[in-house]
Amino acid sequence: MRESTKTYFQIYNNDFINNYNFKFYERKSISFYAPYIQFEYSDYNNLMKDKSNIDDLLQNYLVSNVYISDEYLYNYTTRNDFLYLNKSTSNYDFSKALNDVGLSNMKQQTGEGINIGILELGILDDYTNFQIDKVQTYGYTKDAHTTQVMSILGGKSGIASNANLFSASYLDYSLYNCMNWLISKNVHVINMSAGVFNSKYTSTSSYIDYIVKTNKISFIAAAGNREKILNAPFGISSPSTGLNVFSIGSYDVNKSVSYFSGAWDDPYQGRILKPTLVAPGGNLIGIDNIPDKLAGTSFSAPIVTGIVALLMERYNTLKLHPEMVMSIITASTKKLPTQTNTWDSDAGFGSVNYLNTFDAYEHTTMYQINSNVLPDSLVQTTNLIVPANNSIKIVNFALYNSYTSNIADDPNRELPFEFSKYIIKIYNGTTLLSSSTSISNINFLEYTNYSSSEINLTIKVFLSGSKIGNDIEYASLSISGIHTHSYEEKWIDNFYHLSSCWCGYQVQVQHMFEYTIYYDRHIGTCSCGYTFSGPHDFEQVIGFSIDNSESPMWIPKFRCRVCGYISYEL
């Protein structure tokens, strides 16, 4: 799919823009995977020299929007400095941080086979933490911040230690060119630990939203560090303002949101909910070969990216379904101690938690909404049993079709864009118990069964009003709080293995074998990995006769007591 998209847009975008006579730009970038073209100007005067071309673009019915911004250059807003180190409360050991997000020694996944893209203001300046054959770079500016970020999400002692890492420098090349390169490498998830600190939905936000939806790539971005920008009370970095983008804030060792972590002042009246969630990022220490204390949302984002890579290895379906990744990760978060609401503008949905995602995955339904759906239609239904005194969290996420929008860079303008809206409703029989109220593309609801017995619930998702646009929409419904044991198995001896659930439950189980059968032997393989080989152990079970008038014969039938193999002997 990506190759066909590239073939189309590489030709179409070039042919389209060549019809115009832009002359005074400093750099032109053309996306190979989306209907986006970008010009960069050294100053306003040069921009005005090309104004007639811009006016012509605005008159072209094929152009949905023209964005003009003076904040294109991605900066170091998410980097740590002395301000953070002086103000943060205590050091946060990396091993404790991993434990706090549900990563323990029990995990079997290492990111093997997962391709992670890293967008930074440079490439690695030190390969000590990495397997050389698993790293590819696009750029030439060496950067310590890139090494720090990549050491967390990958690297020999990072979260996804065996993932393939593709590092692109948008200081050396344009963002579009970096994305062209990353997508050509078939990345499954992209980490971006920098951005423009402006709390706006920008052209870059729109572009990334399109890439996520069309090219099926999960995109995780740092929310930004507000304290560096003149003590700004609020702020989220673009492109983490994208509706299809994870926006990751930071919390400290005391489980409080870091003072620098970007917070949302809701310039879009509830249509965009940021940050998405938080992860450890305050004064991280103890990362191999990284002597510095690391503070900033830059280092929270790669924790989430590493976790997403582990999930993609465990559940291969997630590699091509960013809508499932979003609903699963957000449904499985844990509230911070001071957090009361399901979502808030400081901590988002709370802390990422790897172990909780297992249950959320088991209770996730992916679905599509076609163009012919009627207004207010029921689009998804699921039934579940909630135990007594148990709480559940429900998240419904729909990928946003960014190219149908006309979002303005200026949040003070009246918003001209629309997207399909959904509502979650919980029923017990025909009785409506609760409804969601979000008007974003992510809807959520929590419910607690306070009774002394289990309750049967039906979760329904409705389209709220009419569907926007003619394209298919892709959505995912995830429910957390209903635990199903998910076992990892460890060999004990030739007769038993230990099955351990992440919740702490363990049981000793006798090996159950699947057999590969040969005429003289069999090979048994247990789900725990134990194998054995042995000769058949036959017993006679029955026989049959061949009635030949001259010489009738009795043919015995034998079956192996172990593998069930049948043999006949004359």
Q: Which residues of 371-403 are buried (b: 16+ CB within 10 A; e: fewer)?
A: eebeeeeebbeeeeebeeebebbbbbbbbbbbb
Task: For residue 230, give the amino acid letter.
Answer: L
Give alpha helix (H) positions in 275-413: 297-314, 322-331, 356-362
Task: For residue 551, give the amino acid letter.
Answer: S
Cβ–Cβ < 8 Å for 553, 534: no
Tokens of 450: 């306070």
Q: Which of 262, 203, 179 is nearest to 228 (CA)?
A: 262
- Whole-angstrom distance, CA of residue 295 vs CA of residue 82: 10
Query: H or E stretch including 87?
Result: helix 82-87
Task: For residue 234, give the amino acid letter.
Answer: F
* Dihedral sign, Cα of residue 217, residue 223, residue 224, residue 230: positive
Tokens of 130: 């990495």
Any residues with CB less than 8 A from the CB of 16 and at least 6 apart, and which? 37, 62
Q: Which of 238, 235, 243 is nearest to 267 (CA)?
A: 235
Tokens of 542: 């029955």
Q: What pLDDT score was predicted for residue 247?
A: 97
- 472-495 pLDDT per residue, tens: 899 999 999 887 677 788 889 989
Q: What pLDDT score was predicted for residue 73?
A: 46
Any residues with CB less than 8 A from the CB of 272 and at least 6 apart, and which? 201, 241, 243, 440
Q: What pLDDT score was predicted for residue 553?
A: 65
- Whole-angstrom distance, CA of residue 332 vs CA of residue 570: 63
- Whole-angstrom distance, CA of residue 462 vs CA of residue 455: 22
- Whole-angstrom distance, CA of residue 278 vs CA of residue 158: 19
Cβ count within 10 A of residue 190: 26
Q: What pLDDT score was predicted for residue 274?
A: 94
- 188-246 pLDDT per residue, tens: 999 999 877 677 888 888 899 999 999 999 999 999 887 544 455 567 888 999 999 99
Phi, psi (rounded to 5 degrees) for 535 = -75, 160
Q: What pLDDT score was predicted for residue 406?
A: 43
Any residues with CB less than 8 A from the CB of 154 and at least 6 apart, and which? 111, 116, 130, 134, 160, 161, 163, 165, 306, 309
DSSP structure class, residue 17: H
366: three-class secondary structure by DSSP: strand
Phi, psi (rounded to 5 degrees) for 514 = -105, 140
Its pTM stands at 0.83
Cβ–Cβ < 8 Å for 135, 128: no
Q: What pLDDT score was predicted for residue 416?
A: 47
Cβ count within 10 A of residue 566: 11
The DSSP line for 377-398 is -EEEEEEEEEPTTEEEEEEEEE
Q: For residue 33, what are the CA distances in angstroms to 1, 7, 8, 178, 406?
A: 10, 8, 8, 12, 19
Low-confidence stretches of the chain (pLDDT beneath 50): 72-86, 88, 228-230, 404-416, 570
Pairing of strands 92-93, 284-285: parallel
Any residues with CB less than 8 A from the CB of 431 and at least 6 apart, and which? none
Q: What pLDDT score was predicted for residue 264?
A: 83
Pairing of strands 246-251, 284-285: unpaired
What secondary structure, in 3-state letters, does 427-449 show? EECCEEEEECCCCCCEEEEEEEE
The interaxial angle of helices 203-215 and 2-17, nearest 10 deg, is 140
